[in-house]
Structure 1
Amino acid sequence: MNAALKLLGKRALENGTKSPNSENPYRCMVSVKQKNGKEKMKEDYRPIPPGLSDNDAEILKRVRRKAYNWDQKFRCCCFGMRFGWSAILGLIPLIGDGLEVLMSLSLIRTASKVDGGLPNRIYLWMVAYIIMDFAVGFIPVLGDFFDFAFRANTRNAWLLNSYLTEKGKVLLARKITDEKGKSMPVPDELWPQDQDVEQGVESMRMVEPSSRTIAAVPPALTPAPKRAMPPPGRTLTGQARDPRDR
C-alpha cells in the first residue's frame, strides 16, 4: 500500500483509539445563540469534518447512526447507562451473538465504501474489536456486562471519524507530510471520483490514434442526363420504323 495511506492510517489510529466509547458518535451538544444574545446548549447532529466528498460525508453519517442505534439508543432508568440493540440481542443465547456479529460486520462493510477504501490498519482494528466482543460475549453474565461497556460499534465509528478527519485535512491542504516534515504526494485513491466536476476543471484525456485505415470514399457519380424519347414512328437512330414491324 502507498506510504502516504499507511501514514494516514497510523495518525487516525493514534486519535481514534483515544476517543471514549461512551461518547455519542451521532449527536453532540452545540452552542446556539438565541434572539436575546444569550447562548444555549442544544443537542444536534455531530458536524462532518471539512474537506470530505459527498460520498464520504454520507458514509460517515450512516456509520455514526448505526453505531448509536446499536450501542446507545436506550437509557437504563436504574443506572443511567446507555445501551442499544446490540446489547439486547446479546441476551439471546447463541443466536443473539451471531446476529450481533452480522450487524457489526455490516457497519464495517458500510465504512469500507469511502473513497479509496479503508487503510489496512483501520480495517484490521475494526475487525479485532468485533472478534473481541464476540469472544467475550460467550461468557454467561460477564459477557453481557462486557458488551454493555465495550461497545465495539461505537469504537469503530470513532475510528472511521478519526480517519476521515485526517483525510479531510490532507484534501484541503492538498499535501501530506511525515513525522520528519517531508512532503509526500497525495495518493489518487484519496480523491473523490468526481473531483474534476467539483473543482470545475474538465479532465484532459489522451486520444490514441486509431489503427484502422480510413477507406477511400468514391466520388459521387453524376447521374447521366435522360435521353429524349424519339417521336412516334422513329427509332433511336433516326430511321423510320416499318409499320409491319408492329
Structure 2
Amino acid sequence: MDQPQRGPADIEVTNRLTVLANATADAKAMMDRGEHETDKGAQTTVSPEEVDEIIGTWPEAAKMGVQQMVLQYGQPNEATPTKLLWFDRTPWKRIQVTSDQVVHKFPTPHADFLTQYIDYEVPPDKFEELGRYDGSCLIDRTMGEAAARCDSEAANFLTLNLMHEIVTGTRTVDDARAFYSETLSAYCLGESAPHCEGFLFELPTGGSGDPDHPVPPGPKAKAITQQVEEFLSASGRT
C-alpha cells in the first residue's frame, strides 16, 4: 500500500514555527555580519577522477560541456550524480552543468544544460521584456543574479550581453531575438562575434541583491512574530 503523501498541511505547527524562527535568526545573524548571502560551495574541490566517473554516462553534449568548463576554469567545487558546480570563476559567479537537459527551441531546437550566473540587478519593470526575449535568461531579484542557460558559454555570453542591452534600452526585444539568431550562427561558422566571446559591459561586484522589505503586519503576522521572538529567546538565539 502506498504511503500517504505528506506536504505542508501535514507539518506539525511546532515544526512550522521552529523552521520560521531559525530562518529568522539566520537572517538576523547574516545582516549583523553585513552579509546578503552565503557562499560555502567554493571551499571544496571535486577531483578529476570523480568528475570522470560522474560524467561517464552523461549525454555527449553535456559531457563535452563539463570538459570545456574544466579546461577553462579548473576542477568543479561540488558534484552530485547529475550536477557539477563551479563557484567564483571569473567572470562567472557560478557555473552549473547538468546531465538533465531541457529542450529549448529559440533560436533553433537544442538542449540546455549549461547555466552560468553573474551578479546583476534587473529593474522589476524590465522583467516582462526579458521574459519575452528568452525563456532561458533567468532572473533572481532576491539574489541579485542573472543567468543564462544554453548549450555553450558563447551562447550564454550572447544571452546576457543582449539582456543588458534590453535593460539599458539600447535594443528592443524583437531586435535582440533576431540579432541573437544571426550572431550565434556567425559564431558557429567561425566568424567574428564579439557578443559571444565575452562581456561587453562592466560586471557589478556584489550589491545587486534586493532583499525586498517587510509589509505592515496584520493581527496574525503580529501573533506569529511574538511567538518567534519567544521561541528564539527560549532557545538562546536572540
**Bin of the TM-score, shorter chain as denominator length:** under 0.3
More strand by share: 2
Q: TM-score, normalised by structure 2?
A: 0.22
Larger relative contact order (CA 8 Å, sep ≥ 6): 1
